[in-house]
Amino acid sequence: MSEPAVVFEDVGYAYEEAPHEAVSDINLRIEAGEWVGVTGPTNAGKSTLCLLAMGLAPHFFGGKLRGKVTVLGTESRAIKVIERSTDVGLLFQNPFTQISGARERVHEEVAFGPECHGVAPAEIEARVGEAMDLVGISALAARHPLDLSGGQLQRLALASLLAMRPKVLLLDEPTSQLDPAGTAAIFEVLSGLHQSGITIVMVEHRLETLCELCPRIVAMVTGRILADGAPQEVFNREVVQERVGLPVYTRLARSAALPAPRPVRLSESAKAFRTPIA
């Protein structure tokens, strides 16, 4: 049995000077190679979950951490974010804030992280080529990062993380500011990464997308985990439907009074709607 990728044990966290905890009583165990989608309404604590796993909370934000966050066997208190960055990557919402700003070519930008880690030049070159290939931006290698579209930039940001060869990827609404084409490109890359065995934790509010992609979903509300399981299991729970909302397909099935368990994906939904109600 291999070591789990991410483990939260009775975790509570309050930002400094904040009156309440942003997340409370979080217990979560994510095995290596899983692809977990995290969803929930505004202020559910989804971003905080990512910041905790990365170690930015508490190392960057201060504040008060209860319980234990362990990623790849190391507790977050025991390791700095910059040291963690070889094994764990975090992709933010806004593609523009994630480029270092210190490089004039796309391929140089991808090399920035490995350079910070003192990787040997030949090795850097190999990693940069590989990372650009993975996200499909090799053709843009010689362009200036700021000449790219939002979707291309977000793929560049992802390549920059992949060049560090992370084992765990945390994604905080990676496509919420992108158009459908940019979004589709990112998800295609993520599917490939999931195949190759990388552990992915992804915050996303488009439930239909989430259900298509992630075998496991964590639904959060006001800092607590409300449900955790396979998409169909999670979205068939009454409490999730009330407080988080439902994918279109599940909502339609509910309105049409189809029997439970109600479908969450297009294919299942088509089947369910074709079957005449007994």
Partner 1 sequence: MGILNAFKVRMNTLAIVLIPVCIAIDWAGHAVASGLKLPLFLDSIGTVLGALLAGPWVGGIAGLITNFISSGTVDPIAAPYSIISLAIGFAAGIGGYYGWHKTWQGRVALYILIVLVASIGSTPLNLGLYQGQSGVPTGDAIYAALVKGGWPTWLAAYIDEASGDIPDKLITVVVAILIYFGLPNRYRALFSVWRRTGDEKAPAPAPSV
Partner 2 sequence: MAGGLSLYQEGASLLHRAHPLTKGVFTLSVIALAFIVPSLYWILAIALILLILVIVAGVLRRLIAVALALLLPIAVLLLAVQGFANPANHTVLFAIGPVVYYTEGLYIAAIAALRITCLVVATFLFSFTTRPADITEALMQRGLSPAMGYVVQSALQIIPQTLDMAGRIQDAQRSRGLETEGSLPKRARAYLPLMLPLVLSSLVATQERAMALEVRGFGLPVKRVRRYEFADSAVQRVTRWALALAVPAAIVARLLGWK
Partner 3 sequence: MPDISLEKVLFSYPGGVEVYPEPGLTLALESGVTALVGENGAGKTTLTKLLIGLLRPRSGDINVAGLDVSKTTVAAMAKTVGYTFQNPDDQLFERTVKAEVTFGPRVLKRPPADVERGVAAAIKACGLAGKEDVHPHDLGLSERKWVAIASALASEPSVVVLDEPTLGQDYPSRQRLRELVMRLGSEGKIVLVVTHDMDFVGEACPTTVVLSHGAVRYAGPTSNAFGDRALLKEAGIEPPHVTELAQAIGLRQCVNEAEFLATWRR
- Of 43 and 275, CB closest to partner 1: 43
207 sits near partner 3 (criterion: CB under 8 A): yes
- Contact with partner 3 (CB under 8 A) among 130, 208, 228, 233: 208
Within a 10 A sphere around the Cβ of 158, how many other Cβ atoms? 27
SS3 content of the chain, % helix, strand, coil (to 5): 45, 20, 35
Distance CA 272, CA 263 (A): 7
Q: Can residue 207 be called a binding residue for partner 1 (CB under 8 A)?
A: no
The residue to which tokens 């390791």 are assigned = 79
Site for partner 1 in 129-158 (CB under 8 A): none
Q: Is 116 in the site for partner 1 (CB under 8 A)?
A: no
Classify residue 210 by its DSSP letter: H
Stretch that binds partner 1, among 17-25, 26-34, 183-191, 211-219 (CB under 8 A): 17-25
Scan residues 39-68 and list those touching partner 1 (CB under 8 A): 42-48, 51, 60-63
Distance CA 31, CA 61 (A): 27
Q: Which among 61, 38, 108, 119 is positioned nearest to 85, based on CA atoms?
A: 119
Chain-centroid distance, C-alpha 49: 10
In angstroms, the Cα distances linking 269 to 81, 149, 261, 276 are 43, 35, 11, 13
Residue 45 binds which of partner 3, partner 2, partner 1, none (CB < 5-8 A, kind-dependent): partner 1
255 binds, among partner 1, partner 2, partner 3, none (CB under 5 to 8 A by kind): partner 3
Helix (H, G, I), strand (E, B) or coil at 128: helix
Return the residues of window 6-35 that contact partner 3 according to CB under 8 A.
none
2 binds partner 3 (CB under 8 A): no
Which parts of this chain interact with partner 3 (CB under 8 A)?
Answer: 41-43, 93, 149, 173, 176-177, 179-181, 205, 207-208, 244-245, 248-249, 251-252, 255-256, 266-267, 269-270, 273-274
